Amino acid sequence: MERAEECMNVDICIVGGGLAGLALALGLQERGIKAHVFERYSVPRPDPGAVTYIGENGIKALEGIRPGLSTVMAEEGIYATRKKSISVRDGKEVSTKIIEFAEKTAMSVPWKSAQQTLAKFVDVDVVHSSHRLLYYMPHQDGIEAHFEYVSDKDDTEKHIKVVKARLLVGADGIWSTVRKLMVGDAPRCLNLVEWTAVVKDPNDRVVKGLGMGEICVRFQEDGKINCILVNAGDYTIWILRMAERKSQLSDTNLSSKARALMQLNKYKGWEELRETIIQTPEELILERKLMDRLPLNCWSDLDGRVLLIGDAAHAQFIGSGQGARTAYEDSHQLSIFLEEASHSFFSKESIKTAVRSFEELRVPRLKKMHGYACHLALLPELKPDWVRKLSNEEVLKWAIEFRNWINAYPNFQQGDPNSTYCK
């Protein structure tokens, strides 16, 4: 039987100090509400070597969380200037499309810098590092959450902390413990593998021919391979994604770099990317299998005392670039609803109303986004049935409508009534 060594009473307990958790704590802090964040690792955590690409909806959400936040975030990354999309068939480039971005409407920010920027603004006394949620249970009008933690003084012995809260927010990412306790499902493997690296490259040696802030997306028409290159000022970012059907990558003793090159060698027309990978130091290359979460109709538990946000609620195929943006949107919207609840001193009813309103607004939006992300995933079997029936022109119309709809944030969150595919 575990022994509770410490007890805490808080109004709002956020599990997870990633992008959604910290952004929510900050959004609430800006509204005069103190929420506590419990993160299993350190905050900021070790660099996952990833980059977040944020468009208009994400920028508006950041501004809603804290005015000026998007500008500070951009200083840690770079505003995107233009995006070039090149399709490849039989090793040859067959078409190129270029989108010029309006000033300050999209940015690339390393994941680590995004987390550090958020952490910088959140009061240090509300962020509890090295606290891993074990389980939660109802307690009076709220919940009781049990954490395993390591004290600062002796970092080997595990202790138990019981946190009593009016609302527990599960912002604990794709491998969410809160979701496991609430729903019991697991992430879905997308049979895609991704290699990515953020390389310090002030003289553009690793990536050539891309202007400052330019993004180049290159994809094979059959969907088996795609890559993204970003000139992010002092940094070059590259991402390579490929279908992986038979786990041919996991059972080898090769390094990530060698595996990436071995796979790439099977295709013609990717010499430039091959060169980029060769020039990247091995230790900077992150390899991972891509996962998502099947959409849920409900993100709450125990009559509105527990709520999921961010990847825990709606992790989606990363290719749509909405992961960090929707984490910020969630945090922004939930801050607004909880501010309302704070006027009733977080009564059980006021929290329930906030949670219900949040779900009504967000669940339909994220279901639509999930459908679009599945359509973008490389594997045809992930495409929803109705999408397979669309002609190329209809798919193009959907892509334009989708972009307009998400960028209209915070308007039309549940769906754009003037659209055909994003209603």
Nearer to ligand FAD, 220 or 320 (CB): 320
What residues have CB less than 8 Å from 383, skipping those under 6 apart? 374, 375, 377
Task: Provide the token pair at 32.
Answer: 């005069």
**For ligand FAD, which residue has the nearest CB?**
18
CA 285 to chain centre: 19
When the beta carbons of 132 and 159 are compared against ligand FAD, the nearer one is 132
Going by C-beta distance under 8 Å and a sequence separation of 6 or more, which residues neighbour residue 133? 15, 38, 40, 145, 146, 147, 172, 177, 178
Minimum Å gap between C-beta 131 and ligand FAD is 6
Q: Is 322 in the site for ligand FAD (CB under 6 A)?
A: yes
Among 10, 16, 317, 362, binds ligand FAD (CB under 6 A): 16
How far is Cα 26 from Cα 35, in angstroms, rounded to an integer? Answer: 9
Does 383 contact ligand FAD by CB under 6 A? no
Between 20 and 354, CB nearer to ligand FAD: 20
Residue among 27 and 310 whose Cβ is closer to ligand FAD? 310
What is the DSSP secondary structure assignment for residue 187, as one 8-state letter? P
Q: Which long-range contacts (CB under 8 A, 24 or more apart) does 399-403 make?
A: 402/372
Burial of 98 (0-12, 13-18, 19+ CB in 10 A): exposed
**If binding means CB under 6 A, how many residues of this protein chain bind ligand FAD?**
35
Max Cα-Cα span within the chain: 65
> Could you tell me how many residues make up the chain?
423
Positions 83 through 122 that interact with ligand FAD (CB under 6 A)? 111
Site string for ligand FAD, 43-72 (x = CB under 6 A): --x--x-xxxx-------------------
Residue 236 interacts with ligand FAD (CB under 6 A)?
Answer: no
- Closer to ligand FAD by CB, 210 or 350: give it: 210
C-alpha span between 268 and 259 (Å, rounded): 17
**Positions in 394-423 near ligand FAD (CB under 6 A):** none
- C-beta of 321 vs 350, nearer to ligand FAD: 321
Residue 273 or residue 350: which is nearer to ligand FAD going by CB? 273
Window 327-346: residues binding ligand FAD (CB under 6 A): 327
Q: What x-and-dash track marks residues 168-207 binding ligand FAD by CB under 6 A?
A: ---xxx---x------------------x-----------
Rg (CA), the chain: 22
- Out of 11, 39, 301, 401, the only residue in the binding site for ligand FAD (CB under 6 A) is 39
Q: Cα(142)–Cα(194) distance, rounded to whole angstroms?
A: 41
For residue 357, the minimal CB distance to ligand FAD (Å) is: 20
**The dihedral of CA 386, 390, 394, 399: what is its sign?**
positive
Taking the C-alpha atoms of residue 16 and residue 171, their distance in angstroms, rounded to an integer, is 5
N-term to C-term CA, the chain: 52
Among positions 139-158, residues that touch ligand FAD (CB under 6 A) are none
CA–CA separation, 30 and 302 (whole Å): 28
Residues that bind ligand FAD in the complex, under the rule CB under 6 A: 15-21, 38-41, 45, 48, 50-53, 111, 132-133, 171-173, 177, 196, 310-312, 318, 321-325, 327
